[in-house]
Amino acid sequence: MDKYCVFGNPIAHSKSPDIHAAFAAATGQQLTYEKRLAPLDAFAQAVQAFIAEGGRGANVTVPFKLEAYRLANALTVRAQAAGAVNTLLFDEHGITGDNTDGAGLVADITANAGVPIAGKRVLLLGAGGAARGAVLPILEHRPAALVIANRTVATAEALVQQFAPLGGEGVVSACGFAGIDGRFDIVINATSASLQADLPPIPASVFREGTLALDMMYGKEPTVFMQFAAAHGAIVRDGLGMLVEQAAEAFHGWRGVRPATAEVLAKLR
């Protein structure tokens, strides 16, 4: 039986084992998938121990995505672009690092929410690891504009410099939260503000009737960002669909089979 796991600290709350068990059952794949609490100062050792036990692959969550990036001896293009790794594949070549977060986000927007990104104005809030992973997959869908807004403008500008060549002339731009101008078709909260029940300091004018506002965080109740967006006419989504879709992308990378996600997402809801 092939073994997989998710590494994190904390990890008790993770829904990943339920998601991957459902994928395996639906696709007839024989595997086990468990949660593993990795010590904060011994992530690499935890991974090596799992490989020694016969582990075939792993997901990586907070706070180890940068360490996983450094640990991998081969990286996919999207992992290189993100500068972070959330999916590891173990084989005779060593450790391959991938990043399925951005692909999961885009799949949730385009397939589950039914909102095309092509030709749309997209606002990405934040310029940390979560935002970085999203930029390349969003640009692959050819938005009319991608504005990256962040507290520290220099961090957002560094992302623009990295990704501008891929987006086409003038598509990607950066600003501070106070400098956000105009309305957007899609607004993505990739900041950690929702963890503190906080709101990124953005103007209500970014939303119009029917804007899709997606928070990468999820919980039992709508986040403060979702409540704010909904109050100004937006259609809101949390990060649960993204979680399921990035898991499906990882599962496909490991097993070569792409699981259907609708039923699993409905069950988690």
Tokens of 98: 């991938």
Average pLDDT over residues 123-144: 94
The pLDDT tens digits for 61-113 are: 989 999 999 999 999 999 999 999 999 999 999 999 999 999 999 999 999 99
CB-count exposure of residue 190 (10 Å: 0-12, 13-18, 19+): buried
Q: In the block, which residue shows the tokens 């075939």?
A: 56
Share of the chain above pLDDT 90, in %: 91
- For residue 252, what is the enclosing H or E element? helix 240-255
User: Is pLDDT above 80 for 168?
Assistant: no
Question: In this structure, which topology does domain 2-99+242-268 adopt according to CATH?
Answer: Rossmann fold (3.40.50)
Q: In the block, which residue shows the tokens 């961090």?
A: 155
Q: Measured between alpha carbons, how far is 220 from 243 in angstroms, rounded to an integer?
A: 15
Helix (H, G, I), strand (E, B) or coil at 5: strand
User: Is pLDDT above 90 for 194?
Assistant: no
Fold agreement (2-99+242-268, 102-238) = yes
Q: Measured between alpha carbons, how far is 103 from 176 in angstroms, rounded to an integer?
A: 26
Mean pLDDT of the chain: 95
Residues contacting 245, CB < 8 A, separation 6+:
103, 104, 105, 107, 108, 111, 112, 261
Segments making up each domain of the chain, as ranges: 2-99+242-268, 102-238
Q: pTM for this one?
A: 0.94
Residues catalogued as catalytic: 65
pLDDT given at position 95: 98
pLDDT given at position 195: 75
**128 and 101 Cβ atoms separated by less than 8 Å:** no
Binding-site positions for NADP(+) read 126-130, 216, 239
CB-count exposure of residue 266 (10 Å: 0-12, 13-18, 19+): exposed
Question: Rounded to the nearest 5°, which phi and psi values hold at 236?
Answer: -115, 150
Q: In the block, which residue shows the tokens 């595997």?
A: 31
pLDDT given at position 219: 86
The pLDDT tens digits for 40-68 are: 999 999 999 999 999 999 999 989 999 99
**pLDDT tier, 135 (very low <50, low <70, confident <90, very high otherwise):** very high
Helix axes 240-255, 16-27, angle to 10 degrees: 50
The pLDDT tens digits for 239-248 are: 999 999 999 9
Binding-site positions for shikimate read 14-16, 61, 86, 101, 218, 246
**pLDDT tier, 235 (very low <50, low <70, confident <90, very high otherwise):** very high
Binding-site positions read 14-16, 61, 86, 101, 126-130, 216, 218, 239, 246
Question: In this structure, which topology does domain 102-238 adopt according to CATH?
Answer: Rossmann fold (3.40.50)
